[in-house]
Structure 1
Amino acid sequence: MGGLDYASLVSIPISYATCSLGSPSNPPPLLDRLHAISAAGFSAVELSFPDILSFGQTLLGHEVEPSNYDELCKVAAEIKKECDKRDLGIMMLQPFANFEGWPEGSDGRKDALERAHGWIRIMQACGTDMLQVGSTDTPLEKLDKGKMVSDLRGLCDMLKEHGFRLAYENWCWSTHAPDWKDVWSIVKEVDRPNIGLCLDTFQTAGGEWADPRTSSGILEDVSKDELEKRFKQSLDDLSNTIPKDKIYLLQISDAYKVPQPFNAERDDSGLLPRGRWSHDFRPLPYNGGYLPVAAVASAVLKTGFRGWFSYEVFDGGPDGKNEDVDIVAYAMAAKNVQSKLLAECAGQKVTETVATR
């Protein structure tokens, strides 16, 4: 990699997404995960909405409806107390999905606005100032593409009333903004001081370089050489065009090559192939994956960004079968990955270590 001074990287703060510790399909209790994240030396978490729901059931003794914001705020306030006890900040609430682009008067739009108001209340209750919004994967024929920018502007304005920010992420299976260039173009057009990017090593490399639908695991629309050249150009463009203060965080994960190529259709739950891949096949870097993670991280660091690196993995093992893991050891392995990743970004040679199971 080269070109980056390791000494300038060691003060980068690190966070861990609560949803991404333990088996993706059968996560251990939230308090156990918070303990493991804190014990490993992370300074904050991304709080995941499904974890508020599951902790709510434990706390209140009954299932909490996703739209019961009075109860959700009670639960979120309790999670904040538990994080405070463990010296963990709540860096962001996530993942806010399928918000932008619904036609005027549609049920989708009414639901999106109700969720926005409700999630802002949850942010107040848990003490975070940042909302992660993923670029929508709703089928485009259901949406009005002309409303994407104005909807996000409206959400920025709602957040601004509380001093909150919007971190917009390109989900690589999004129907309208799968690449970093797509979300950056939208963020520039939204043109609000409280919107920036949530960049992600999986979303960038997994969308522009890799492909779970091919036997090689990489995009096959061009030759391998051409693919490498094209991807390098994209990362150079990222380094040279995005101001560092418009990057709010970088999420870190790798990907396993899937055992059998996925078919191109949506699955029964409506997920596109890269969405399915994202759910179960995302390990820590240096633990059996194959994406050029350090290349993406280096490109982001070359902008001058030194903000949050946040670990968000969904590690169901190389076969996606969701084996259980020792979460204390796994969180410690994630902490150790950070120093290796920064070393590689600074041009030092590092080795693969499979140490999470």
Structure 2
Amino acid sequence: MDLDCSSLLTIPVSYASCSLGSPSNPPPLLDRLHAISTAGFEAIELSFPDILSFGSQHLGHEIDPKNYDELCTVAAEIKVQCEKRKLGVMMLQPFSNFEGWPEGSEGRRDAFERARGWIRIMQACGTNMMQVGSSDTPLEKLDPKRIVSDLRELAGLLEGPGFRLAYENWCWSTHAPNWLDVWNIVKEVDRPNIGLCLDTFQTAGGEWADPTTESGLLEDVPRDKMEKRFQQSLTDLSKTIPQDKIYLLQISDAYKVPSPFSTEADDSGLLPRGRWSHDFRPLPYNGGYLPIIEVTRAVLRTGFRGWFSYEVFDGGPEGKETDVDLLAYAYTAKNVQERLVAECAGKKFPV
């Protein structure tokens, strides 16, 4: 199906607050909000770590991550600061390790305590959407039979205040690393306020690329078979997911890592694709190698024309870069949006 370029020009564009500037040394939130607004973005994804860091400055002391009274005070101030810059808060993120904890476990108690606290924060900052990433908790610690019921219960908690749940496949997840995995779960949850957060990095980085190989690609089958398998997955995505069940598409690319990562988790327990995600995700057209246009085009072919959101963690090709011109980077991201939608529609874009 050909894409109508004019319809792509109506897509609203957001920027994840946590992902402007160096991943290892984030600049002050207000500096990032200024750059995002000046470059012409309409909204931000507000990250929970940004609430903590801005809150420490705003309140003059470190904030306990479970002190939801103080967190709500800070979130309300961030809303004010966004409104001054004509920015909305499109989503609160990233909620991790929520689903599948055994009944009666400390993990499950903590997950639902956090969820109720986050709902309060959402009300304070003025957003109506929570992002949940598919859990990377080791499977032996989870009860897979609880995954759907937990998400159904969370959707119920969010439904009261009119909020939505955007469920994302994190490509290092232990139970749902691919778009089809999370889509099957969302279908089974079967609630009107749960949909998908799709992501170019998570899709291509899980089904096409691999940071643990010399080639940077999946090598479980020959290259031509891998490419055919990936293209079939994208075709299936276009034909399978209803457009109204896609709540947003996050955009980023990936650098090929300087040397292959170990296939084992690091000392913190983070799996290799999680490490890759943390420091090696530039904007498209800026040194990465993933098939970003193909993934984006597949999502657009569902008819989706909702939020595009730029979520990059750009530590440079070595993963160590710390010096970032915020305003120049934000403008580059806005230019990427123009080029990306043009090329998705088959148009030549002047470089």
TM range (shorter): over 0.9
Task: Report the CA distance between 1:37 and its aligned residue.
Answer: 0.1
User: What's 2:230 paired with?
Assistant: 231
Question: In the alignment, is the contact (CA less than 8 A) between 2:44 and 2:91 conserved in 1?
Answer: yes
AA in 2 matched with 1:59: H
TM-score in terms of structure 1 length? 0.97
Match of 1:201 in 2: 200
Partner Cα separation in structure 2 for residue 161 and residue 43 of structure 1: 27
Amino acid at match of 1:10: L
Partner of 2:151: 152
Find the counterpart in structure 2 of residue 167 from structure 1.
166
- Spell out, residue by residue over 1:272-305, the C-alpha distance to the aligned partner (whole angstroms, 9 max, x if none): 0000000000000000000000100000000000
What's the offset of the Cα at 1:248?
A: 0.1
- Cα distance between partner residues in 2 of 1:136 and 1:193: 22
| In the alignment, structure 1 residue 25 sits paired with structure 2 residue 1 | no
- The aligned residue for residue 56 of structure 1 is 55
Query: In 2, distance between residues paired with 1:241 and 1:330?
Result: 35
Question: In the aligned structure 1, how far is the partner of 2:264 from the partner of 2:115?
Answer: 30
Contact in 1 for aligned 2:25/2:322 (Cα 8 Å): no
Q: CA RMSD in A?
A: 0.8
1:134 aligns with 2:133: yes
Q: Structure 2: give runs of 5+ residues left out of the alignment.
A: none
Report the count of equivalent residues.
351
Identify the residue that residue 305 of structure 2 maps to in structure 1.
306
Distance in 1 (CA, whole Å) between partners of 2:348 and 2:148 is 43
Tell me the CA shift for residue 322 of structure 1. Answer: 2.5
Q: Which runs of 5+ in 1 are unaligned?
A: none
> Greater CA deviation, 219-228 or 303-312?
219-228
Amino acid at match of 2:47: S
Q: Distance in 1 between matches of 2:43 and 2:112?
A: 28
Is 2:98 aligned against 1:95?
A: no
Equivalent residue runs for 1:46-85 within 5 Å: 46-85=45-84
Alignment check: 8 A CA contact 2:96 2:133 kept: yes
Alpha carbons 2:252, 2:310 under 8 Å: kept: yes
| Distance apart, 1:350 and its partner CA | 4.3
Matching residue of 1:245: 244
Aligned to 1:286: 285
> Within the alignment, does 1:341 sit opposite 2:340 as a pair?
yes
> Hey, what's the Cα distance between the residues in 2 that align with 1:198 and 1:150?
19
**What percent identity do the matched residue pairs reach?**
77
* Corresponding residue for residue 9 of structure 1: 8
Give the alignment of 1:110-129 within 5 angstroms: 110-129=109-128
Residue in structure 1 matched with residue 181 of structure 2 by the alignment: 182
TM-score normalised according to structure 2 size: 0.99
Aligned equivalents of 1:155, 1:124: Cα separation in 2: 16
- Offset of residue 349 of structure 1: 3.4
Distance 1:323 1:52 in 2: 21
User: What SS is found at the alignment partner of 2:196?
Assistant: strand
Amino acid across the alignment from 2:178? D
